[in-house]
Amino acid sequence: MPVNPSRQCYMIGLQPQELDWVRLLVKLLRHNDPLPAELARQALRYVDQIAESGAAIPDCHPAFRQQQA
């Protein structure tokens, strides 16, 4: 099925500048070699655990810290 790159997909909580990271993760998850795909899965599990715990992320981006204040 051909993909139309001009179509927009909206995701709640996703900032426009984060879209490239999402694309990279999807690309890694679909990788033919199982090693990059597994690494991406582990990274997503880690991020999910941090988000669920509500723990502060050390050395996070200053803009993120400002939003939390």
Other C-beta atoms closer than 10 Å to the C-beta of 18 total 11
- Rounded to two decimals, the pTM is 0.54
Question: Torsions phi, psi of 18, nearest 5?
Answer: -90, -10
Report helix, strand or coil for 60.
coil
Please work out, in degrees rounded to the nearest 5, the angle formed at the alpha carbon of residue 5 by the alpha carbons of 30 and 46. Answer: 35
Q: What is the pLDDT along the chain (69 residues), one digit of tens a residue?
A: 456 666 676 777 777 788 888 888 889 999 999 999 999 999 889 888 877 777 665 565 555 555 555
